[in-house]
Amino acid sequence: MATVAYRIFRRSRLSGRGLDLVKDDIRAALVTSAYTPDAVKHKTFSDVTGEVIAAGYSSGGKFLEGQRIVEGASGPAFFAKDLTWEKASILARGIVLYFAKTNELITYSDFGKDVSSTDDAFKVLWDSAGILELI
Helix (H) or strand (E) holding 33: none
pLDDT for the residue numbered 74: 81
pLDDT for the residue numbered 79: 95
Alpha helices in 3-134 (DSSP H): 7-15
pLDDT for the residue numbered 15: 61
Q: Nearest Cα to 61, choosing from 27, 17, 95, 102?
A: 27
Please tell me the total count of domains within the chain. Answer: 1
End-to-end CA distance of the chain: 18
pLDDT for the residue numbered 106: 96
Q: Which residues form the domain of 16?
A: 2-133
pLDDT for the residue numbered 63: 98
| pTM metric for this prediction | 0.94
Q: pLDDT by residue for the chain (135 residues), tens digit each?
A: 789 999 999 887 666 666 899 999 999 999 999 999 999 999 999 999 999 999 999 999 999 999 999 997 788 999 999 999 999 999 999 999 999 999 999 999 999 999 999 999 999 999 988 998 887
